[in-house]
């Protein structure tokens, strides 16, 4: 049995590894701290029984990391683990392809129950969750965002931060023409015609990190 814990907080990875080892003593547990490291591990051909994925792992850009995994590694069951457990976030995670959603405050008993349910082929979400609001989960642009290359995703992220083409070119140390080509391809893949529409689509996959809220 092979688990992957993808989280950038070493203490949380250690705690989760301990919980998994208690319940599944013969399991192999791999740990990664960023989305690129996770994607490299998955591309290596490792057989994965369950991936426990933090939504806020570096370079995941909210649900974008989940969208990429669901698109390119559909055989990997993913349990989202997040401190943001609002109903809309949970429903979006399942709509994009997660097999379960585990709040970071979950007890060891809930962790074991959730993992067993997902590994048995079920979708596990916290009890007493209200029904999803259709406008929040209908037509999520996950597949379109997942189709972007890493460089295109970086460009889109900078566009969403309000940077212009020249600023993005300077930041990435490429020519303005290269950025214009990226923007044209981003628009084509997303099915939009301008920056505002692209940013609106991208924003639908963003998730607030409760650990980095303004005071």
Number of H helices, E strands in the chain: 11, 5
CA-closest candidate to residue 99, choices 74, 73, 123? 123
Residue range 50-89, pLDDT digits in tens: 999 998 899 888 899 999 999 999 999 999 999 888 898 9
- What contacts 57, CB < 8 A, 6 or more positions away? 6, 7, 8, 33, 34, 35, 38, 65
Please give the pLDDT value at position 53: 96
Topology of domain 2-134 in CATH is Rossmann fold (3.40.50)
> For residues 29 and 22, is the Cβ–Cβ distance under 8 A?
no
Q: Please tell me which residue, 133 or 189, carries the higher pLDDT value.
A: 189
Residue range 3-58, pLDDT digits in tens: 999 999 999 999 999 888 888 899 999 999 999 999 999 999 999 999 999 988 99
Estimate to the nearest angstrom the gap between the alpha carbon of 90 and the chain centroid: 12
Q: What radius of gyration, in Å, describes the C-alpha atoms of the chain?
A: 18
> For residues 181 and 149, is the Cβ–Cβ distance under 8 A?
no
Q: Please tell me which residue, 209 or 97, carries the higher pLDDT value.
A: 97
Confidence class for position 134, pLDDT limits 50, 70, 90: low
Domain boundaries in the chain?
Answer: 2-134, 148-203
Please give the pLDDT value at position 213: 47
Q: How high does pLDDT run on average in the chain?
A: 90
Whole-Å CA distances, 89 to 85, 159, 174: 6, 23, 36
Please give the pLDDT value at position 9: 92
Confidence class for position 214, pLDDT limits 50, 70, 90: very low
Please give the pLDDT value at position 169: 96
Paired with 80 in beta bridges are 53, 101
Confidence class for position 136, pLDDT limits 50, 70, 90: low
Structure tokens at 82: 């997040």
> For residues 66 and 97, is the Cβ–Cβ distance under 8 A?
yes
Please give the pLDDT value at position 210: 64
Tell me the pairing of strands 28-32 and 50-54. Answer: unpaired
CATH entry 3.40.50.2020 includes domain 148-203: no
């Amino acid at each position: 049995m092979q688990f992957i814990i993808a989280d950038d907080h070493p203490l949380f990875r250690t705690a989760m590894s301990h919980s998994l080892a208690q319940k599944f003593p013969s399991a192999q547990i791999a740990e990664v701290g960023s989305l690129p490291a996770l994607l490299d591990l998955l591309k290596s051909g490792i057989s994965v029984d369950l991936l426990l994925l933090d939504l806020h792992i570096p370079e995941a850009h909210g649900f974008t990391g989940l969208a990429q995994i669901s698109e390119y590694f559909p055989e990997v069951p993913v349990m989202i683990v997040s401190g943001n457990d609002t109903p809309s976030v949970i429903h979006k995670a399942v709509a994009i392809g997660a097999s379960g959603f585990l709040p970071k405050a979950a007890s060891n008993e809930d962790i074991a129950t959730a993992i067993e349910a997902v590994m048995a082929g079920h979708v596990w979400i916290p009890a007493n969750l209200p029904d999803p609001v259709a406008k929040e989960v209908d037509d999520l642009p996950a597949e379109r965002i997942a189709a972007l290359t890493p460089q295109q995703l970086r460009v889109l992220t900078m566009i969403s931060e309000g940077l212009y083409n020249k600023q993005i070119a300077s930041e990435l140390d490429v020519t303005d023409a290269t950025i214009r080509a990226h923007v044209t391809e981003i628009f084509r893949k997303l099915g939009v015609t301008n920056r505002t529409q692209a940013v609106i689509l991208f924003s639908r996959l963003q998730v607030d990190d409760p650990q980095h809220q303004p005071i």
